[in-house]
Amino acid sequence: MFTIEHDFDATVITLVDEGTPHLQEDVTVHAFEDCVTVEQFDERRNDVVRITLSMAQIRDLSAALNLPEGIYRLTPKR
């Protein structure tokens, strides 16, 4: 299950890991104009872990999800 919310400066997507047993903590994705952050609560550290991806990294990740194993470099469209 997931939710999508549109805030003033970001789109917020929350991914809920439904399953039996409960597998992982929820993942929250904040999509801003210039970057995307991904957050997940870490029970071992009792803290939220956050990573920030540039828009170029997001484009690469999006492409990588649909490609077979290998090494790739995206080139800008002209």
Give the pLDDT score at 17: 86
Distance from the Cα of residue 76 to its chain's centroid: 22
Domain boundaries, the chain: 2-64
- Tell me: pLDDT of 49 over 90: yes
Percent of the chain residues topping a pLDDT of 90? 53
- Backbone dihedral angles phi then psi of residue 70, each to the nearest 5 degrees: 155, -175
Note the pTM of the prediction, 2 decimals. Answer: 0.80
Q: Residue 21: is the preceding peptide bond cis (ω within 30°)?
A: yes
- For residue 19, name the pLDDT band (cuts at 50, 70, 90): confident
